[in-house]
Amino acid sequence: MTTLLLAAALAFTPADAKLAYRTAREFTDKCTPRDAGTMRGYFAANFILDSASSTGADVVKDSFTDATPRGKRKFTNLMSEFVFDKDGEWVVVVSHYDTKSGVQSPGANDGASTTGLLVALADVLRRAEALKGNVMLLWTDGEECIETYAHNDGFWGSKHAAAKLKSEGRKVRAVICLDMLGDRQLNISLPRNTSPALRKIALLAAKRAGEADKVRAVDDLVKDDHLAFVEAGYKAITLIDFNYGSAPGKNDYWHTPLDSIDKISEESLFVSGKIVTEMLNILL
């Protein structure tokens, strides 16, 4: 007699949203600024390590040095792996945590919100059983450019991570990048320069989560961490709310002191968490 082990659906709860918001708030309070390649950035990496580890997840640092327009700098990614099938494929969920160099911005939405979301997802995955695949949570350093996005400016962490996945021969089913998903006025965009299949999955996930009105496919091209994985040959998508400001279309909070904790909400992180979790349920 053979017993079939069925995959259990993941669930993102209000308690998970509270953890995501609390982490984002503490991260903003304690780790501003956190420019890549600085001691403040390294301090932020330690905060993430402690916060994610407190859920019971195993978290490791991956430090590396790379060239920048201002000389070589040391960067630190963080990873937490959840292995349910040692021969199975991987879904990688990514958030950057750094702030824009030279800009006095708390980065509450741009960096902290999805940093907190990944910490909460670590707790969700720690509780999970019998998924049909594996999940890597990845906090990247150096998403923000120093001067202007170019081959040696910006996306250092995601480029390093994509190359590492390739060198290790990982079988990656999908890469899901999350950015600016705590906005109180949440409107998630799925840009055109992402995997069409993953865009369909994101829209289906939003519908299943009861949040279809919060997600839309757009014709915009967005430069974000997902591009490093696309260029490495992986199916990748970014979920981003790039309409972040005092009025529709302004985006005047981005990379300014106005990107503060009062601009994000626990409710928006609950919506975002449910959608991402449903994407994982579909993919796994």
Residues 6+ apart with CB under 8 A from 5: 130
Looking at the DSSP bridge assignments, the partners of residue 80 are 137
Token pair for 100: 């824009």
Q: Would strands 71-82 and 60-68 be described as parallel, antiparallel, or unpaired?
A: antiparallel
Residues 6+ apart with CB under 8 A from 62: 76, 77, 78, 79, 160, 161, 164
Q: What does the DSSP assignment read for 92-130?
A: EEEEE--B-TT-----IIIIIIHHHHHHHHHHHHHT---
Alpha carbon 70 to its chain centroid, in Å, reads 26
pTM of the model: 0.95
Read off the pLDDT of residues 51-88 as tens digits, 9 standing for 90 and up: 999 999 999 999 999 999 888 999 999 999 999 998 99
pLDDT at 1: 35
User: Residue holding tokens 């109180």?
Assistant: 184
pLDDT at 3: 37
pLDDT at 6: 47
| Domains in the chain, CATH or no CATH each | 14-283 (3.40.630.10)
Looking at the DSSP bridge assignments, the partners of residue 81 are 136
Low-confidence ranges of the chain (pLDDT < 70): 1-8
pLDDT at 177: 98
d(C-alpha 22, C-alpha 119), whole Å: 10
